[in-house]
Each structure stands twice: as C-alpha cells, then as structure tokens.
A and B are shown apart, each in its own frame.
Chain A
Amino acid sequence: MRKLALSDKILLQVEKPTRYLGNEINAVYKDPDRYPVRFAMAFPDVYEIGMSYLGIQIIYDMLNRREDVCCERVYSPWMDLDRIMHKENIPLFTLESQRPVRECDFLGITLQYEMCYTNVLQLLDLSGIPMLAADRKDGDPIVIGGGPCVYNPEPLADFFDIFYIGEGETVYDKLMDAYKAHKAAGGSREAFLLKAAQIPGLYVPAFYDVTYHEDGTIASFKPNRPDVPERIEKQVVQDLATVSYPEKPLVPFIKVTQDRVVLEIQRGCIRGCRFCQAGMVYRPNRERDLDYLKAHAMAGLNATGHDEISLSSLSSSDYSRLEELTEFLLETCQARQVNISLPSLRIDAFSLDVMSKVQDVRKSSLTFAPEAGTQRMRNVINKGLTEEDILGGAAQAFAGGWNRVKLYFMLGLPTETEEDVKGIAHLADQIARVFYSIPKSERPGNGRVDIVASTSFFVPKPFTPFQWTRQCTSEEFTARQKVLSREMKDMINHKSLRYNWHEFDLTRLEGIFARGDRRLGPVLLEAYRLGCIYDAWSEYFRYDLWLQAFENCGVDGDFFVHRERDLDEILPWDFIDAGVTKDFLKREYARAKEGLVTPNCRQGCSGCGCRKYDGGVCYEA
C-alpha cells in the first residue's frame, strides 16, 4: 500500500482530499531512488484546473518514457491545506511518490496565466526551496518555467533558474542528458546553468543584465558573460507526427474541468487576429495527420474510459480535414455512447449540422466571438468575421432549433470609440431581430431568444501588433462598461438581452505582469508576503493588498500598463525570437490603425517571419 505524505487526520479535515492522493488511472509510478533524474512537474493552481491541462500530460508522458527520468506531478494545495502545511511544517510533495519536491532535481512550473504568479511563490515556499534563484545552493532543485507566459518571463526572472521558451517536445531531452552528465561528473549549479543556457530555447535570467534610462525605459539588455546567446530562439516542433502524444492520459477520480479525452488537432492558427498572443507565438500553423488523430482518439478513449472527447485547437474550423474527422468521430463515438465536444467552431451550415448531431439543440447555446461590435473595430483587430457571417449564421441556427446565443466581446481595444462600444449592443439586438422576424409559429423553443453578451477587457500582450499600445485604466473600462450597459437597456429587444462583464482590477494587474519587467519581482514577493494567493479566484483576490505591495516597493504599476510605448523602445521581451519579426508586428500595428485587414496564412503569406521553421502552413501545396 502506498504511504501518503498527509496523515488521515489532515485528509479527513480538508476539502476534497482526493486532490492529494495521486493513485489515478494511468499515473506512472517509478521508484524515485532508482532514477538518476527526478523531475517534479507543477501547475500553480488547484488540482481540478491543473489536471485539465494537456501540456503537462504531454511532458509527463514524454519524460517518463525515458529510462533515466522519473517525472511526477504537483498542484497547488488549496487554501485549507496551505494553512495546515504552513502551521505543521509539512513540505510540499509530489503526488506519485508522496515525497518532498525539494528532493527532486528539477521543479518545472507551467505558466499559463499571469494571475497564477503568487501561486508559483507558494509552490516554492511550501517546498522549502529558496524563492529567489540567487539564494539557491547546489543541492536545491533547478526551477524551470514554461508555457505561454514565458514569452515575457521578466517579471518572474528573480524566481526561476531557467525558462524554457517554446514547445516542450523539442529540447527537454537535451536538457535531461546535460543534467545527467553534469550530475555524474559533479560540478557547481552555475556550471550546469551555463550548459543549459547553451541549449537553444533555454533562457537563464541570471546570465543577463538590464539597465534603465532615467524615464524608466530599458537602456540595455545584455548577457553578462560571453558564452551565452544574445537572443533566445523559441523552440518549434516542425513535424507534429514525429513527437510523442500521450496514449494513456491520466484519469482523475474527482471531476476536473476538462473531464474528457483531449485531441489536439493542430497547433498555431492561420488567422492573425491582432490581439491574440497564441495566434502569433504558436506560428506556424501545423496540422496533425488525420490517421494519426483517428488512432489517438481511439487509443485515448480505450485507455481512459472517458465518455467524452474534445477537439483542441485555436480554431477548429480551419483544420483542413475537419469534415472527415468529425464523420469518423460521429460514427465511432455514437456506437460507444461517447459524447463529442467541438469548441471554437465557426458557425456555418457544416458546423450547425455537426452540432445538431452531437448535442441537444434545445439545451445548448450557440457561441460567437465577434470580439468587437462594429465592422471598423473588427477590421482593426483583424477578426475576419463580418456582420453577414454572424446574422446569417444566427438565422441558420434559429432555423435549426437553437434559441440561445452567447456572444464574446472585448472592451478597450485600440482606437475604440463610443460608437464601437454601442455597436456591441446593436449587434446583439440585430441578432434578436433576426429571431423575431421568424413567424411566431415557426420559432424554436418557447418562442423567445436568449442572448448573453459578455465583455472582457483588452489586455495588450507581448509579440502581438498591440504590444506597444496603452491599456485602458479601470476608470476608462468602467465608463465603457456603463455606456454599454445603458445602450443594452435602450435596445428594442432589451428583454432578450443580457450583459456580463469581467473584473477591472484583476485586468489591470494582468496587464502589468503581461508586459512588465524585472522590477516587478520584489512587488510579487511583497504581495505574496502580504497574503496574496489564488488571485484568479475572486474569493481570494485582494486588490487592496496588491496596491499595498506596489506602494511598499515604490513601484509604479501604471508605467507598465497605461503607457503607449515608443516603437523603438527596448521591450523587456525583445531578447526572445518568437518567430514573428518586429518589422511584421510594426506593419500590422500600422495596418490596424488604418483599419486594414491582413489575409490569413492560407489566403496569402504576409511575411511574419515564421517561414524559417520549415514546416506547417507556410509550406502547404
């Protein structure tokens, strides 16, 4: 019987003790003492969120295929256990062996969103690993970060030994080999980090120095030793068929957010929406082979027993063999009582037909993400969805029996006017009009339409054409949200419309950390010391403590978030080569301001710079 790190006494008093047991189907149990390299893979949020993330499963599977690496998982203890672990001095442990994280050679932390950064500190703190990389000694684990947030890792530079920039399948093997050789030969932590820094895609922040101008902008960003690269190249898998994909995904006992087989059908996106970081940094778009997907769908269902399978990609409709894939899934899944979930589909005749086969039309809703309310604004952000697409799609959907619509928008986009804000209400009303133009006797459902419009607030992200733009203040966001709320109420069909909006203060912090630099390290540490944690959870988010942390550190958050940057300014993330060139981003920013649409990658190449990766959509016949 496995021995648990936590006593029965503790497990019986915390909420959902299953979070801390491990023991899931398809988890890999290796005796840590028999492996030269031990890797703890952490997701800095609660188990149910972390277990839903495909990326960790890919790395977990890949590392455990090696005969010399033992990879185990770690998630953030929920607040009830956090308190107990602090009080009783219980070190954070890995789920599989239930042994302290601190014994591992590596602690890998995936960084999926900025508002998990205090939880990163919690993981280090509970593990008993010095929070500052500079304080770590030879016996401490190497702390390595990966995931989308590393496209600007600078706010976390103080806390990580290495950042892995790009897709995990490419250089982890090299890093493991280098570590094994280092461990066998003996040598200092610094000597190993130097070897790591020479592997493409790996950034060791301690080997780089930053200086600042008097106005606070960056004066220089340079290696502080001759033997590390000036620029870090993002790592890209050229051919997705050549890398491993988990055939036996983990099956948790408790219900997690993504409680299904996840089939990643492609990486990257051909669309080039100007606000979307994923659409830029995961270029070039690369599709997985149809037969490969069929085989993995079956293997995943057989190995997990899940009753649902979901396609995963940034824009499923752009997968060129989607019809064949969904046909296959419909055939095989319905015979085995397996549901199919098809997120991020464009609404058209094909997708409506598929959706009507896989879901209960009466209970499900139709989702559009126009992102902006007017055509002018949609052209600025290069969202190629027109009003005709939306209204036409809605009309077809109503004819097909749907009567619920969800609409997603952003407020605070660059160049946004009051007309654009009000346009959101007008578009929602237009959709309602399409519904009520159907003769009463032919309307689906109860004869009424239910339209829910949600707005998030726009946060400019690195490596997008909007990386230079200023983010609206909380006051500006409030004003725009109020204009929209009022306009919604003035619509003819206002009884059929509902409007939801996001948290302003959280958005401001997200903006600060998205484009901040190393000077935010002390602020983050101070916020954690003051008690900030689980910031993405509204019940724990303490904006007052965050403001206190900025004040205590004498750091002006506005500088990072509400300032339009000069096009020639050195940006904190400029040392990363993410594929898309700065010239391309500048061109796109200029076109955005003129409201010019840029064609997608299949319509024509716009020379973003990612052709150099020798794969994907850039080389399609």
Chain B
Amino acid sequence: MKLRIRFGKHGVVKFIGHLDMMRYFQKAFRRAGFDMAYSKGFHPHQLITFASPLGVGLESSGEYMDIEVVSAGDLDEMKAALAAQMAEGVEILSIHALDENAGNAMSLVAGADYKIAFREDMMPMPVSDLKAAMADFMARPEIQVLKKTKKSERIVDIRPLIYDLSVTDQGEILMQVSAGSAANLKPELVLETFCRLNDLPADPYAWLISRLDMYTDLGKDGERRLVSLEKC
C-alpha cells in the first residue's frame, strides 16, 4: 500500500541536508512502528521516494515523500504516531493513501511555489520599486541564462519556466516555477538573473527562501493545470 506524506521543515532543521533527512525518516518510521515494505536483496531498504530534494538553508511547508507499507492502520493515527517522533522543526502535515497504480511523487512533480523574504536590512530597493522591477522582469519576452553542466554550457530561456511572480506589500516575493525532472528551475537562479538584469549585487545570503507547495500537471493538450501533490 502506498502513502503520501506532506511535511514541513522550519528553523534549525533547515541546515540538515537531503540525504540526512532521508536517513532521519527511515529511523522515524521504525520508531513510529510503521509496517514498512522493504526492497529485496541482501541489504533491504525501505521503499521511500522523495518528491524533490530541498537545498540546505531552505525552509518548506510543502515537502512530499511516498512510502510503501505492508499494512496500514487508521491514517490519522499513523499521522499522530509519526508526528510524535519528529524533531523540533519537522512537522507532519498530512498522510493520504495513493492508488496502487499512482505515479510516485518524484515523477509527478511539475511545479513548485516559493516565497522569498529578505533578511533584515537586506532589501535591495523599496517595495514599490521592487514591484515595478519584477513586473518589468516578467514582461520580458525571454530571459536568457547561461546554464553550465559538467559537460557543456548552453543558453536557456527561463521565462517560460516562470509561471507566476509577484511581490507582496510586505516585500516578499512569491513565485511559481517549473519543477521536476523535465525542467527544474531553482528560485535562486531566478533571483540571480533578476539581480543581474537590474545591476544589483546578488547575495544569496540575503534571501530567506521557503518552498510552499509542489504540484503535478493534470492539464491536457499543452494546457497547464497544476494540482497540489496533496490532492492527487
């Protein structure tokens, strides 16, 4: 039986890397008494798939992982049992059952929401100017960036990968971008590019980034319809 778990990561745990979070959950499932399914072979491991790794330093209220269990009890009770095993800063937000033939979270991811706040005294410009500059940025027909991989360098247009971008009255940036294996756009790259095009120094330390949610695309015929991984 497959279950999808949504969890949040805030505060000190933002410094814990992806691999360590995986190990952390493996142990948490054992402590919570989950009847986990294991892979075959001499070194069996729990069947867990994370939707998408979260970078060190980022917070989130929209992390997902799919797990496979041999048997499951009442999902609310399971959620409570798992929540009781969490370290401060890791919050279990929901658990729901998946169809047997459902795709796993990693293969489904198509988009993500991020919120970026600036650290105290590190706003690059007043809120109204930032709103205007972001609007100009989004009005560009294309936004070219140089993508370096180990083997090659190529110019990519990231504009089509930015689905939405706005600035709140408090000066926080909200963005919805493409995510997942097909085209993953990191919010840091959007911000760096914005800074470059506006002749601003790009200091990643200034940005407090949180992932808010992750989505799959249920649209048809090239039309996008993003649905939260919690709802599918």
A binding-site residues for B, Cβ under 8 Å: 1-2, 4, 8-9, 11-12, 17-18, 21-25, 251, 253-255, 301-307, 336-337, 360
Give every chain B residue within 8 A of A11 (Cβ-Cβ): 15
Interface size on B, residues (CB 8 A): 28
Contacts of B28 in A (CB 8 A): 25, 305
Q: Which chain A positions have C-beta within 8 A of B10?
A: 1
Q: Which residues of B contact A9 (CB under 8 A)?
A: 205
Chain B residues near A4 (CB-CB < 8 A):
12
Query: A25, B85: Cβ atoms under 8 Å?
Result: yes
Contact B30 A305 (CB under 8 A): yes
B31 at the interface (CB under 8 A from A): yes
Q: What is the bound-complex CA distance between A360 and B42, given in angstroms?
A: 7
Select which of B12, B27, B31, B42 is within 8 A of A23 by beta carbon.
B12
B38 within 8 A of A: yes
Report the separation of the CA atoms of residues A2 and B89 in the bound assembly, to the nearest whole angstrom: 9
**Which of B20, B30, B36, B205 has the most chain A CB atoms inside 10 A of its CB?**
B30
Chain A residue contacts of B17, Cβ below 8 A: 18
Bound complex: CA of A372 vs CA of B57, how far in Å? 52
Q: With A11-B15, A18-B16 as given contacts, are A336 and B88 in contact (CB-CB < 8 Å)?
A: no
The answer on a CB contact under 8 Å between A25 and B27 is yes
Q: Which 9 A-B pairs have the closest CB atoms?
A: A305-B27, A305-B30, A305-B31, A17-B15, A1-B11, A360-B42, A253-B20, A21-B12, A253-B16
What residues of chain B lie closer than 8 Å to A8, measured between beta carbons? 57, 205
B: residues with CB less than 8 A from A are 10-13, 15-17, 20, 23-24, 26-31, 36, 38, 42-44, 56-57, 85, 87-89, 205
Query: Using Cβ atoms and an 8 Å threshold, which residues of chain A touch B88?
Result: 1-2, 23
How far apart sit A25 and B85, CA to CA, in the bound complex (Å)? 8
Residues in A with CB closer than 8 Å to B56 are 12, 17
Q: With A and B bound together, what is the CA distance between A253 and B90 in angstroms? A: 12
Chain A residue numbers with a CB within 8 Å of B15 are 11-12, 17-18, 21
| Known pairs A12-B57, A23-B88, A25-B87; A254 contacts B20 (CB<8 A) | yes
A336 touches B30 (CB 8 A): yes
- Residues on A with C-beta less than 8 A from B29 are 305
How far, in angstroms, from A253 to B12 measured CA to CA in the complex?
12
State A597–B213 Cα separation when bound (angstroms): 71
Q: What is the distance, in angstroms, from A615's C-beta to the closest C-beta of chain B?
A: 35
Give min CB distance, B58 to chain A, whole Å.
11
Are A23 and B205 in contact (CB-based, < 8 A)? no
Interface pair B20/A304, CB less than 8 Å apart: no
Knowing that A4-B12, A18-B15, A305-B30 touch, tell me 11 more A-B residue pairs with CB under 8 angstroms.
A1-B12, A2-B88, A17-B56, A18-B17, A18-B20, A25-B85, A251-B27, A305-B26, A307-B27, A337-B38, A337-B44
Q: Contacts A302-B31, A306-B27, A336-B30 given; indicate if A2 touches B12 (C-beta within 8 A).
A: yes
Contacts A/B (CB < 8 Å), 15 sampled: A2-B11, A2-B12, A8-B205, A12-B15, A18-B15, A18-B17, A23-B13, A251-B27, A253-B23, A253-B87, A302-B31, A304-B27, A304-B31, A305-B26, A307-B30
